[in-house]
Amino acid sequence: MKVNFLKNTFKSTKEETYEGTFFNSTQHEIKKLLFGIGKSIITENEIEISDYHFEPSIVYSNKIIKANEIDFVNM
């Protein structure tokens, strides 16, 4: 209840627009520009990556990486 009160109190009355925010792109163009980076399933022995959109990555567009193929993990 308190959260809704705060949201409503500080809610902007201006309607949001995306036009012109990125080199005069329309809202439709912005939505097409932003898309996911694929799907992944991580198990004990492998990582399966699918629907990855970026070439020339080694995982484009689908790849299964076995645990013994991973040399280093950076966090």
Question: Which residue type does 59 have?
Answer: V
Q: What is the pLDDT of residues 57-66, one digit of tens each?
A: 888 889 999 9
Where do runs of H (alpha helix) occur along the chain? 2-10, 27-33
Question: pLDDT at position 31, please?
Answer: 73
Question: pLDDT at position 7, please?
Answer: 67
Question: pLDDT at position 41, please?
Answer: 93
Question: pLDDT at position 6, please?
Answer: 60
Domain ranges of the chain: 35-70
Question: pLDDT at position 18, please?
Answer: 47
Q: What is the pLDDT of residues 6-53, one digit of tens each?
A: 666 666 655 555 455 667 777 777 777 777 778 999 999 999 999 888
Phi-psi domain of 7 (left: phi exceeds 0; alpha: psi -120 through 50; beta: other): alpha
